[in-house]
Structure 1
């Protein structure tokens, strides 16, 4: 009986301890609820933020952005820049290795960057490397890989030749498409090397340990990372759910610490609890037309649909999160370096709202609401995207008399549909890769874009903006290009983004970039649980 009593007492204590720990943070683990299943963790091939946020912990570039979003030495410990600003010589840190202990060298960077612009690889990120001499020509099959201006001079020295002076190039080298990838693994499994946790090798602060698809990704501290002293957590966890409500429940129950884009209906409650935060975010949420699909192959129809939008009400009552209604492509927050003024403020609105004009354009194009071909809005599965699509659907019905169908797809399928042009009008968003208007305007600079749009005058202005070092002239070219984009009505901007997120107060050391990324390298759990 004494033994039984002792056993029951121990069991009761254990249950009590577990009950007391329920919902409490693991002191060595930070958990971020990921908003979508990554299509892949290949940093050269992927484009979404969900993927980039995980990749930022598994890989690293020559530079890494600091708390002020300035590039700092990472895998490169230093660099030299030629007087004309067109030749960069990077010096790698000594004794760098991949997470499995294999040496990491300048040759890995040369291979990885040339792979991104290889036309046979067909990476959607290729354009990000076009500032490099020969990269665009190689990507367009007009030159060979040997002409691309990236060369490993030795194991620790990488030389890069640019087409033109690119003031933001060091920021580019911090982006995921500039990360090195393990050549031996990519060549052994070109299509699957980054689609599972097994055998995945990186070079960042963490190494992957588990990937249950559409459920969770777990990583642990990389023992071979060069800067272990600044890695604060032993583990990171990324539970995955496309549902905003589900991700919020994970955070509020203590099963996760951070999540992005909480449901707008919960904003007031979360603010009262001290969990709601908003970070700056250089991005635009928009609808994109497939300009080669009927009825949107007619610019008058595109303009008609654009004119029926009622952005302010949509932002105030549905989107919320301190978003701003958008009437152009490049968002506020990017400085015109020639004048010191905001680029958006100088350019002004480029699209407006006029339901009567919309109905007139529909008629001029030879249609009535009844004879217009069926229209469908494509969006990826998400409560917010669904709410916006339903609101837009109602606006088009009210202001144009046209009923639009709605189609939602899980993120991986939706991204493929957009890339392949299998849509008429689709939800999209673009977040700046760097703080310059070119990061937005470059999106539509060739025919290989979601809109299937091509305008040689637009392309010429973009080329001229890239070739000149005169900032005043460069900015003027970009203003002119943006106007052409709206004369052709390629997109409907809906709102300029902010980054609303939910964070438990005991999570410290993370950093939200205005480029939309969260850096968890130095994130940790404060056991005292005081406010951030």
Structure 2
């Protein structure tokens, strides 16, 4: 209530009015308190604490869980991992595929209340083109320019089909921010987290939490909700992401109701939480357990030796030993995830999960194997990596290969991975990608040092394809070559991320990587 009465009023009239005003004020405050208590709040425990929520300065998955609510991109991924428009309304390409014109959605608001225009997009995208490693490696110089307030052009030197996956990708993703925020960037990245997403940044308390608040002026897409794309109807007022690095503390917190959702549930706790009627568990494929083969030096630089190793591998036995529960893994011969529909392939499937001892021995003989041991490195910091190494060691013994199994802490393992003369097989994981050109196992600079002219040629032709159908046929050809001849590494099987929630959470969507969980569409029980 506004106190607009004139001071001329005599005291007899003024005192009652003041009492009425005070009463109205108290009632208003009480109403505000009631409204505040009715606001829905979500508490999430994350397994790691990012040092920044600037997408270009931190590739950690948990950083994306937070920043993906704040920032949006020109293109994004639908539930099947396909690139689709988000802040862009449409995209048109020139005949030579070098110039691409984005029509922007209009009246989209930043969290500071300003409208997003082409100047903001150009500043954000040129920053992305400069800092995103994949963009620089695969496309070189990429330039964005504003044509008018709602039109942006992108110019690339050579067309490649995977430019769209790169623009929509979730690693060092192309977040759109206000121009002034980009221009104020410091060495550590941007210091203000202002985007167009359904939630706005409130505060980050180091070693405690980050707080996001529903953005009431959020302008939704007209398209149906689909993965990271389409409508984002935020239903929760406040989200708190707590940093709880100890897995037992997270597990205890979900059981007591201290947290509504936790990520990275330890595999050994899955059955316990899954059997608790007061909890829900969610399993989503994250990536492949990988055996990386050293093709630069040592015994496995011979393709016949790699074929022999791959031939004796019983993938199912290894995945069962590493993950124990069928819900937590799958067997699939695709180097690309079967959930990425554009690239899902079973070409060369006959070379997957063979477990053929006699054929493997024959290949060893053809390779002229002399009985020297091979070295396998892994890390017990991830028990499933180590457990799979132990089973592999036993399988290789069956064909007469002795294995020196070396276990390192994770930091040391990553250092050893870069050395090309101390190991023959390295065991760890590989996250799912949206295009074959992004697969680490095919990178000459990545552990294993893949280097073959046929791979280079086919990858180049895939990227230069006129359409997805043509590219898919070339990928089938390349995957068959990988399995039957070159064997850069063995994708043993897909393994999962596990989330858990209390029964207060009525709906929580968790998609296979690289899409992952969505937070704006969570539904909570009425309280």
List aligned pairs for 1:304-453, cutoff 5 A.
Answer: 304-319=308-323, 320-322=325-327, 323-335=329-341, 343-345=344-346, 347-351=348-352, 352-356=354-358, 358=360, 371-372=372-373, 374-378=375-379, 381-396=381-396, 400-409=401-410, 424=423, 425-433=426-434, 438-439=435-436, 443=440, 446-453=443-450
* 2:124–2:182 Cα contact (<8 Å) kept: no
Alpha carbons of 1:72 and 1:344: their partners in 2 closer, same or farther (altered >3 Å)? closer
In structure 2, what is the Cα distance between the partners aligned to 1:74 and 1:50?
22
Q: Structure 2 residue aligned with 1:209, among 203, 209, 212?
A: 203
Alpha carbons of 1:472 and 1:203: their partners in 2 closer, same or farther (altered >3 Å)? closer
In structure 2, what is the Cα distance between the partners aligned to 1:222 and 1:104?
18
Match of 1:125 in 2: 134
Query: Which deviations, in whole Å up to 9, do the C-alpha atoms of 1:213-233 show, x marking residues without a partner?
Result: xx5541221658634993333
Match of 2:189 in 1: 193
In the TM superposition, residue 207 of structure 1 has moved relative to its aligned partner by: 1.1
In the TM superposition, residue 522 of structure 1 has moved relative to its aligned partner by: 3.0
Q: Which structure 2 segments of 5+ residues have no match?
A: 1-36, 221-231
Match of 1:19 in 2: none
In structure 1, what is the Cα distance between the partners aligned to 2:165 and 2:378?
38
Q: Structure 1 residue aligned with 2:66, among 54, 64, 67?
A: 54
* 2:233–2:521 Cα contact (<8 Å) kept: yes
Matched, 1:110 2:122: yes
In the TM superposition, residue 248 of structure 1 has moved relative to its aligned partner by: 2.7
In the TM superposition, residue 43 of structure 1 has moved relative to its aligned partner by: 1.9
Alpha carbons of 1:103 and 1:373: their partners in 2 closer, same or farther (altered >3 Å)? same
Alpha carbons of 1:466 and 1:71: their partners in 2 closer, same or farther (altered >3 Å)? closer
* 1:282–1:515 Cα contact (<8 Å) kept: yes
Query: Which deviations, in whole Å up to 9, do the C-alpha atoms of 1:455-475 show, x marking residues without a partner?
Result: 221121122223233554322
Matched, 1:288 2:301: no
Query: Which deviations, in whole Å up to 9, do the C-alpha atoms of 1:78-107 show, x marking residues without a partner?
Result: 22535969534221433633x456765423
Match of 1:153 in 2: 147
Query: Which deviations, in whole Å up to 9, do the C-alpha atoms of 1:272-298 show, x marking residues without a partner?
Result: 324354455474332323433545444
Q: Structure 1 residue aligned with 2:474, among 456, 473, 477?
A: 477
Q: Highest CA radius of gyration, 1 or 2?
A: 2
Alpha carbons of 1:299 and 1:81: their partners in 2 closer, same or farther (altered >3 Å)? same
In the TM superposition, residue 180 of structure 1 has moved relative to its aligned partner by: 2.7
TM-score, normalised by the number of residues in structure 1: 0.72
Q: Which segment is superposed worse, 477-486 or 242-251?
A: 242-251
Query: Which deviations, in whole Å up to 9, do the C-alpha atoms of 1:446-489 show, x marking residues without a partner?
Result: 53444332222112112222323355432221111112333222
Query: Which deviations, in whole Å up to 9, do the C-alpha atoms of 1:103-138 show, x marking residues without a partner?
Result: 6542343344344443xx4x44327x95xxxxx1x2
Alpha carbons of 1:439 and 1:45: their partners in 2 closer, same or farther (altered >3 Å)? farther
In structure 1, what is the Cα distance between the partners aligned to 2:523 and 2:209?
18
* 2:430–2:440 Cα contact (<8 Å) kept: no
In structure 2, what is the Cα distance between the partners aligned to 1:174 and 1:206?
22
List aligned pairs for 1:70-85, cutoff 5 A.
Answer: 74-76=86-88, 78-81=89-92
Q: Which structure 1 segments of 5+ residues have no match?
A: 1-24, 131-135, 139-144, 338-342
Alpha carbons of 1:331 and 1:387: their partners in 2 closer, same or farther (altered >3 Å)? same
Matched, 1:34 2:46: yes
Query: Which deviations, in whole Å up to 9, do the C-alpha atoms of 1:31-85 show, x marking residues without a partner?
Result: 3332444465332354443332222123211245567877776434x22535969
* 1:200–1:208 Cα contact (<8 Å) kept: no
In structure 2, what is the Cα distance between the partners aligned to 1:68 and 1:391?
33
Equivalent position SS for 1:522: strand
Alpha carbons of 1:449 and 1:364: their partners in 2 closer, same or farther (altered >3 Å)? same
Match of 2:454 in 1: 457
Match of 2:255 in 1: 252
Match of 1:169 in 2: 164
Alpha carbons of 1:462 and 1:442: their partners in 2 closer, same or farther (altered >3 Å)? farther
* 1:243–1:383 Cα contact (<8 Å) kept: no
Match of 2:212 in 1: 220
Alpha carbons of 1:36 and 1:493: their partners in 2 closer, same or farther (altered >3 Å)? farther
TM-score, normalised by the number of residues in structure 2: 0.72
In the TM superposition, residue 203 of structure 1 has moved relative to its aligned partner by: 4.3
Match of 1:507 in 2: 505
Q: Structure 2 residue aligned with 1:179, among 160, 172, 175?
A: 175
In the TM superposition, residue 405 of structure 1 has moved relative to its aligned partner by: 0.8
Number of aligned positions between the proteins: 466
Q: Structure 1 residue aligned with 2:107, among 94, 97, 114?
A: 94
In structure 2, what is the Cα distance between the partners aligned to 1:373 and 1:314?
19
In structure 2, what is the Cα distance between the partners aligned to 1:38 and 1:358?
45
In the TM superposition, residue 518 of structure 1 has moved relative to its aligned partner by: 0.8
Equivalent position SS for 2:201: strand
In structure 1, what is the Cα distance between the partners aligned to 2:243 and 2:388?
22
